[in-house]
Amino acid sequence: MRRRISLLAAVLMCLTALLAACGSGTKDAESVVKDLDKVVSSMESYHGKGTMTLNTGQQPLQYDVDVTYQKPNYYRIELTNAKKDITQIVLRNDEGVFVLTPRLNKVFRFQSDWPQNQGQVYLYQTLVQSILIDNSRQFAIDKETYEKDSYVFDVMANYQNGSLARQKIWLDQDNYIPLKVQVSDTNQTVMVTVEFKEFAFDAKPDKSVFDTQRNLSGAANKPSTTEPADEGAADAQEQTDPAATENGSTNGEQQQGADNAGNAATGTDAEGSTEQPDAQAGEEPAEDTMAPADDSNAGVDLLSDALEPLYLPEGVAFEKTIDIEFGGLPGVIDRYSSEDYDFTILKTQPADVAASTIKGTMVPLGFTIAELTGGEESEQRTLTWTYNGIQYRLTSGTLPEAEMFKVAQSVQGEMTK
């Protein structure tokens, strides 16, 4: 009997050792975190493609995401809504940080150290950093979602939109490439999902991929993953984007005209308004920048496609619409108010070509990049973004930033006032 027990114990020990050997490829959270720190530190480049789904409106919206990074600080992010043929590109190169809308031939240049100061859900550095700094991180191994086991981290989300509280990050067990990201709000509702279809380290992108003018003209819309064939591509990177320095006065007039129009709707004067970016200091708005709209149909068809917010803070209701014209372009201002909040949304057709240096803060809305100005010396803040050929300017002196972001993110579908 004792011999049988001894034999059984020996068999169990062998099975235990065998199972341990089979699972030797699985690491614990501490080991994975150390590896991730090394990966980011030694990383030279990467290129990834995937889809991003936003659940901030009444219906989920899906965007194609194409991300390219080259050490030390070159970035290219392309966001495309295939259904509406809308593409925006975010670039960081030697000249600065740019947001491009090729379809409108429009360029914004930001004075920013992005993305170091702002997280992005589709950037590998942002995801890894959120794992490294969260000492209360939760770790699990997912054996069901993908063909191979994947590591899953549940960590705090560190985005400018304060309503996004936590995120889950799926990583390939073998090489730590990102597989999926889910970002949830404080109610544990998934608001943003990014699923990577392709991702590769050491992508070796051509430098022309990060060239502003080539991206604006569409020449670099599909990033190359080969080494430059000659010095021409490198030279292209060193060229200053002419679109970023020309036509500044035109844009300055439009920006200031928009400010005046917003002040008219909110009841604030020019002295109380937030200082807005312009291309050249001292630019004066054209005399017709605040003129009431005439009976011309110019731009009417485009503005008829303008969207309304699907989210409003509690108690806020639509009040009225004002037809205006500034910079020779038609526009409308929608006013919303309650006992606590009052804000306006100005919608207009941007000029065919416009370039300006933005002094505000870049704010990712998910489906586009916005610019936030004001809030320091003035109580009034303005959030500006372009979507589907319409420029939107949300201005308020009472609406908190988090609420501004939620309202802006909800301008994705049609709603009848």
Q: Check if the beta carbon of residue 142 is closer than 8 Å to that of residue 130.
A: no
Is 233 domain-assigned? no
Is 361 domain-assigned? yes
Residues 402 and 286 in one domain: yes
Residues 259 and 196 in one domain: no
Neighbouring C-alpha atoms within 13 Å toward the C-beta of 156: 8
Residues 197 and 255 in one domain: no
Instruction: Please tell me the predicted confidence (pLDDT) of residue 111.
Output: 74
Residues 252 and 175 in one domain: no
Identify the CATH number of the domain in which residue 320 sits: 3.30.200.100
Residues 56 and 195 in one domain: yes
Of 186, 201, 216, which closes a domain? 201
Write the secondary structure of 127-160 as one string of H (helix), E (strand) and C (coil): HHHHHHHCCCCEEEEECCCCCCCEEEEEEECCCC
Residues 280 and 183 in one domain: no
Is 33 domain-assigned? yes
State the chain's maximal CA–CA distance in angstroms.
105
Residues of the chain with pLDDT under 70: 1-25, 57, 219-305, 326, 351-358, 376-378, 412-417
68-91 pLDDT, tens per residue? 999 999 999 999 987 877 888 999
- Cα distance between residue 55 and residue 187, in whole Å: 13
Q: Check if the beta carbon of residue 153 is closer than 8 Å to that of residue 141.
A: no
Residues 192 and 337 in one domain: no
Residues 196 and 252 in one domain: no
Dihedral (Cα; 215, 221, 225, 230), 10-degree rounding: -50
DSSP labels, 111-123:
-S-TTTTS--TT-
Give CA angle at 292 (287, 295), nearest 5°: 115
**Contacting residues for 131 by C-beta, under 8 A, at least 6 apart:** 33, 36, 137, 153, 155, 169
- Residue 5 tokens read as 């027990």
Residue 115: asked if its preceding bond is cis (omega within 30°), the reply is: yes
Residues 164 and 106 in one domain: yes
Question: Strand 106-110 and strand 354-358: pairing?
Answer: parallel
Q: Domain span at residue 279?
A: 248-409
Residues 310 and 394 in one domain: yes
In the chain, how many domains are there?
A: 2
User: What is the H or E stretch that residue 259 is in?
Assistant: helix 248-266
Question: Strand 150-156 and strand 369-374: pairing?
Answer: unpaired
Q: Would you give the DSSP letter of residue 408?
A: H
Cα 375 off chain centre by: 21
296-344 pLDDT, tens per residue? 444 445 566 678 898 899 999 999 999 988 677 889 999 999 999 999 9
Residues 99 and 166 in one domain: yes
3-21 pLDDT, tens per residue? 555 555 555 555 544 444 4
187 residue type, one letter: N
Residues 181 and 295 in one domain: no
310: left (phi over 0), alpha (psi -120 to 50) or beta: alpha
Instruction: Please tell me the predicted confidence (pLDDT) of residue 101.
Output: 84
Cα–Cα separations (whole angstroms), residue 116 to 65, 70, 326: 20, 14, 36
- Cα distance between residue 270 and residue 256, in whole Å: 10
Task: State whether residue 306 is helix, strand or coil.
Answer: coil
pTM of the predicted structure, to 2 decimals:
0.72
Instruction: Please tell me the predicted confidence (pLDDT) of residue 392.
Output: 92
Paired with 30 in beta bridges are none
Please state the length of the chain: 417
